[in-house]
Amino acid sequence: MDNQVYYEEFNMENPLPPLTKPPVDKIQLVKYAGASGDFNPLHYMDEVGQMAGTGGVIAHGMLIMGFVGQAVTRWIPNRNLKRLAVRFVDITKPGDKITVTGKIVDKQIKEGLGIITGEVIAADQNGGVKIKGMFEASLPLKEHGGKIKEVF
């Protein structure tokens, strides 16, 4: 395994590297409808969005959570991610450019493993928050005397 990440590599001072996604577009919503199986027409028929009062189609909340998952697994290897929890705060519309930011808010060693807790936020180009969430990861500790490299 050449991508092992260790507990000591994370600190609570520096934010995690943000992930900025290309603007959401309608083609992506159609792709995500097919991929997820969520065929609610609110996500691909503007007239349904107009009836629902959103002025047109809106993105699947789970697509934006997918962006959050993408960001978190850039920070933490998938096998070390133990929990990802989000609250859907606001709707996302085509054209919105989402950036996912995060920071570590807690670090604890439990039973020989390093447990880190992070906060994560997905927001649009105007700072409008779409998702607020948290993640937990369980990371190995560097062996005593091992070289500690700061990756973030």
Partner 1 sequence: MSDLSKMIGTELTSFSYAVERGKIRETALAIGDENPLYTDPEYARARGYRDVIAPPTFGICIDFWGGQDFMALCRKLQLNPVKVLHGEQEYQYFGEIYPGDTLNACCLLKNYIEKPQMSIFILETTYSNQNGEKVLVSRSTVIEKK
Binding site for partner 1 (CB under 8 A): 1-3, 21-22, 28, 31-32, 34-38, 40, 52, 61-63, 65-67, 69-70, 72-74, 77-79, 81-88
Query: In whole angstroms, how close is the CB of 13 to partner 1 at the nearest point?
Result: 26
For 50, other C-beta atoms within 10 Å of its C-beta total 12
Cβ contact 120:68 at 8 Å: yes
Nearer to partner 1, 81 or 113 (CB): 81
104 Cβ contact list (under 8 Å, min separation 6): 10, 11, 12, 16, 116, 117, 118
Nearer to partner 1, 28 or 99 (CB): 28
Query: In whole angstroms, how close is the CB of 102 to partner 1 at the nearest point?
Result: 14
Query: In whole angstroms, how close is the CB of 65 to partner 1 at the nearest point?
Result: 5
Q: Give the integer Cα–Cα distance in Å for 97 and 100.
A: 10
Nearer to partner 1, 11 or 125 (CB): 125
Q: Give the integer Cα–Cα distance in Å for 20 and 7.
A: 25
Query: In whole angstroms, how close is the CB of 146 to partner 1 at the nearest point?
Result: 19
